[in-house]
Structure 1
Amino acid sequence: MQAPYGEVFLINKPLEWTSFDVVKKVRNALKIKKVGHAGTLDPLATGLLIVCAGKMTKQIDSFMGQEKEYTGTFVIGHTTDSFDLEQPIVPVADPSAVTLEQVKSAVAELTGDILQIPPMHSAIKVDGKRVYESARKGKEVKMDPRPVQVSVFEITRFEIPEIEFRIVCSKGTYIRSLARDLGEKLGVGAYMSSLCRTRIGDFKLSDAKELAPLVEEIKARSHENL
């Protein structure tokens, strides 16, 4: 008797693809319905996406709960309604006087066990509706702060107006919210111009496959054991 099929795919999510777009592509290649991902990446983020198929979909929650690592860039002096490049960039204040010491001091306040308000342009549900749907209609939704853990918040390059970072954090942490909060602490505003997820638990981006060749590989396989 054949054992039930199950597989885990580590994929480097392409820029501007939704996490669901990736799942749909893998599902169509496998020709099975039971496919899901462990942890959403926004369309403008790239990096590691864990996609589970068959019996391995039972592991999604355990993968989602693991520590995440990201690298990326914040831009200070401007902001957007979504705190990334999804919405128009608006000026806030001249950042030219901001020093690395000020940035490090603000970062220290955003490291450790903190309370964080998710961005309005996020997939969180409030009263059964995705808050980004309300945000796109110009409606304000009250969201309570949530406890998250930022175990590492490292500045890897500081060249006004750009701040490059490496962040290690718990499930549920919004890097866009860290951009917002950093900009507020510096008094000049900020938004996230790029984001890449480099690790989930012990799974690394360096072990992930590009989506297009992976899909071709799946299609080329024999599906006799599915």
Structure 2
Amino acid sequence: MTAEDYLNGQIILVDKPLKWSSFQAVNKLKYALINNIGLPKKFKIGHAGTLDPLATGLLIVCTGKFTKIISEIQGQAKEYTGTFYIGATTPSYDLETEIDQEYPISHINEALIHKTVKQFLGEIDQKPPIFSAIKKDGVRLYEHARAGETIEIASRKTTIHEFEITRIALPEIDFRVVCSKGTYIRSLAYDFGKAMRSGSHLTALRRTKIGDYDVINATNITLFEQNIIDKL
């Protein structure tokens, strides 16, 4: 692949590592291309949908003219797999923050879990986590949260197309979800626990698909950089 190819437009499927931000992943690719095949420092590059640092999986990176279709890609349905931890909540709804409250789980069985899944299929109302990058009054919600401020968050309409439980080993439940743009799986974890008269938070998350793009076709960032060097 030449510098001209990337300037004309390429789609790079990346398997984002754990604890990397989406911004870090894009920057790593950007400077690999600048330093090794001579792309200009201000060439166009961006990703189609943020993944939290504690999530892994498919990150779609567009270069050159293909950055114009980022919004189109972002609008497609997304598939995730992961794990809910039942019986405890955290302020961030995941492992970014410590457990703040514990709940009973002795009443929870497979029948209740599968019955609860049905409540979340189709269009639902969902509140984004307070620890999110959404802005309110010009300030990101996580900044309000870290300052200890109480903020009223409006709910949003989102759609869960598929919701499958793949493993039950309480307090852990593994799942697969196909959902619309703007769905927060952390909020789904929290709401799922609440619907079972308990608590829940997300302990693992992996994005596996965006539309027809699949993580099985994604590249490891380090290997991507090495392949560029090897072809010089």
Give the alignment's TM-score, normalised by structure 1. Answer: 0.93
> Residue 20 in 1 paired to residue 23 in 2?
yes
Are positions 1:5 and 2:8 aligned together?
yes
Residue aligned with 1:105, SS:
helix
Q: Structure 1 residue 201 and structure 2 residue 211: aligned?
A: yes
C-alpha distance after superposition, 1:109-159 (max 9, x if no partner): 111111110000011111222111111111122221111100101111111
Q: Which of 174, 177, 187 is equivalent to 1:177?
A: 187
Is this contact kept in 2: 1:30–1:219, CA < 8 A? no
> What is the aligned-residue RMSD (CA, Å)?
1.4
Alignment of 1:1-226 (within 5 A): 4-31=7-34, 32-33=41-42, 34-221=44-231
Write the letter of the residue equivalent to 2:200.
A
Taking a change above 3 Å as real, the CA distance of residues 109 and 59 of structure 1, as seen in their structure-2 partners, is: same
Letter in 1 for 2:33: L
Cα-to-partner distance string for 1:143-193 (whole Å, 9 max, x where unaligned): 211111001011111111011000000000000000010111111100000
How many residue pairs end up in the alignment? Answer: 221
% identical equivalent positions: 48
Which 10-residue stretch deviates more, 169-178 or 138-147?
138-147
Runs of 4+ in 1 over 6 A off after TM superposition: none
Q: 1:214: Cα distance to partner? A: 0.7
Determine if contact 1:19/1:43 at 8 Å carries over to the other structure.
yes
| 1:57 aligned partner, one-letter code | T
CA offset digits 1:12-71 (Å, max 9, x no partner)? 000000000001111111224311100000000000000111111111101100000000
For residues 92-120 of structure 1, the C-alpha deviation after alignment (integer angstroms, 9 at most, x for no partner) is 21213201111122211111111110000
SS, match of residue 209 in structure 1: coil
Moved more, 17-26 or 208-217: 208-217
User: What is the CA distance between 1:220 and its match in structure 2?
Assistant: 4.5
Which sections of structure 2, spanning at least 5 residues, go unmatched? 35-40
Distance (Å, rounded) in 1 between the aligned partners of 2:192 and 2:80? 16
Per the TM alignment, residue 221 of structure 1 is displaced from its structure 2 partner at its CA by: 4.8
Deviation, 1:218, is: 3.2
Q: Is there any run of 5+ residues in structure 1 with no aligned partner, and where? A: none
